[in-house]
Amino acid sequence: MPELVSEKIVRARKAHQCRTCNQMAVMPGQEYTRSTYVFDGRIYDWVMCADCRACASFVFSWCSYDGDGIGEDQYDEWAYDTGWEADSDPATQSDEQKAAISYLVRSRKMVAGHAWVGVAGHPDDLECTHREDGTDATYCGGDERDHLWSTR
């Protein structure tokens, strides 16, 4: 298993991608946590954005950490498992569910801001007709699979 050698807060000189959610997580000049691991005789660095960092303890306890290491796959499984059980009303979501949903939005470009709304009279059409402000400028058009919630 990977062994953590050091973990430090550093200031970025160039932009870095988060190794967990694959978003451009760190911009030049920002502080971030750089973890250095040794695995199989190789040294590698793990860069994580602040939001993924905040998920780490949830993911660890969800996986009942057994020493295999926690990577992108575990984050994904945890986020789908936890996020899918959440209610669409943020007021009823636990901190863990909120963290999972924000991970899915970051990493998988999931739509969490509204429920998927089908085309009236066309139940087989998977296009979302939600308009955030009621005009075509904010027409969603997204796939039902990309939405965390659906009205049907």
**128 lies in the binding site for Zn ion (CB under 5 A):** yes
Structure tokens at 129: 């007709």
Count other Cβ atoms within 10 Å, centred on residue 20: 26
Q: Which stretch binds Zn ion (CB under 5 A): 81-89, 90-98, 119-127, 142-150?
A: 142-150
Binding mask 72-111 for Zn ion (x = CB under 5 A): ----------------------------------------
CB of 87 to Zn ion, least distance (A): 18
In the region spanning residues 28 to 57, those forming contacts with Zn ion, defined by CB under 5 A, are 49, 52
Out of 2, 16, 18, 101, the only residue in the binding site for Zn ion (CB under 5 A) is 18
CA atoms within 13 A on the CB side of 77: 11
Structure tokens at 76: 């994904």
CA 48/CA 103 separation, integer angstroms: 12
Is-contact 70 48, C-beta < 8 A? no
**16 lies in the binding site for Zn ion (CB under 5 A):** no
- Three-state SS string over 41-77 comes to CEEEEEEECHHHHHHHHHHHHHCCCCCCCCCHHHHHH
Q: Which stretch binds Zn ion (CB under 5 A): 8-16, 27-35, 55-63, 138-146?
A: 138-146
Q: Which spans of this chain sit near Zn ion (rule: CB under 5 A)? A: 18, 20-21, 25, 49, 52, 128, 130, 140, 142
